[in-house]
């Protein structure tokens, strides 16, 4: 970010106490911290925690986690509940935060959660956004998640911690 996103003035570097040198707009007199998107990704679990839901999207056969961007003004937990409902038609009854990872390709900070849904019904699946959704046992999910993906790192980290 070289120019102020509010007024277009060229940014300078200015010392901010305890933070070091931060981009600063001398016209707005405001520090301009880096801008990136924020999204949630979800390890969706059935009520007795024996299965995990993986989905396929965008015409590929890769099994990935349910995910979506957080709206401005929305908290991450609300985004988890909303995205799971929008994409799968399932209702989240509990959720837990796991970990985060920055995804450079889309300049997005991904916040990974695990959540438990009320039932395994896929009859209200959003077939516009999701090509396919399938429940896997925890071990099958480990084998079938898209290799070398952020989704795989989140899932393996979660499964390896146990619960
Ligand atoms: Zn400015």
Residues having C-beta closer than 5 Å to ion ligand 1: 4, 6-7, 9, 25, 27-28
Question: What is the pTM for the complete model shown?
Answer: 0.88
83 with 102, same domain? yes
Among candidates 52, 55, 41, which has minimal Cα distance to 136? Answer: 52
- Determine the distance separating the centroid of ligand 1 and the alpha carbon of 28, expressed in angstroms: 4
- Determine the distance separating the centroid of ligand 1 and the alpha carbon of 30, expressed in angstroms: 7
- Determine the distance separating the centroid of ligand 1 and the alpha carbon of 10, expressed in angstroms: 8
Strand order in the sheet with 30-31: 12-16, 20-25, 30-31
70 with 115, same domain? yes
Q: Are 3 and 10 in contact (CB under 8 A)?
A: yes
127 with 151, same domain? yes
**pLDDT tens for each residue of 75-103:** 999 999 999 999 999 999 999 999 999 99
10 with 27, same domain? yes
**pLDDT tens for each residue of 26-84:** 999 999 998 999 999 999 999 999 999 999 999 999 999 999 999 999 999 999 999 99
**Burial category of 52 from C-beta neighbours within 10 Å (exposed 0-12, middle 13-18, buried 19 and up):** buried
10 with 47, same domain? no
Residue 15 sits in which domain range?
1-34
76 with 131, same domain? yes
Number of structural domains (the chain) is: 2
Mean pLDDT, to the nearest integer, of 135-159? 97
């Amino acid at each position: 970010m070289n120019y102020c996103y509010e007024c277009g003035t060229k940014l300078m570097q200015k010392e901010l106490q305890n933070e070091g040198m931060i981009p600063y707009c001398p016209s707005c007199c405001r520090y301009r911290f880096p801008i990136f998107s924020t999204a949630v990704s979800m390890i969706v679990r059935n009520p007795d925690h024996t299965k995990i839901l993986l989905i396929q999207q965008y015409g590929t056969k890769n099994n990935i986690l349910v995910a979506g961007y957080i709206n401005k003004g929305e908290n991450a937990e609300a985004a988890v509940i909303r995205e799971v409902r929008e994409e799968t038609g399932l209702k989240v009854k509990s959720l837990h935060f796991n970990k985060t990872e920055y995804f450079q390709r889309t300049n997005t900070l991904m916040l990974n959660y695990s959540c438990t849904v009320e039932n395994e019904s896929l009859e209200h699946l959003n077939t516009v956004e999701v090509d396919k959704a399938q429940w896997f046992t925890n071990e099958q999910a480990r084998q079938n998640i898209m290799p070398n993906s952020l989704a795989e790192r989140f899932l393996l980290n979660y499964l390896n911690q146990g619960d």
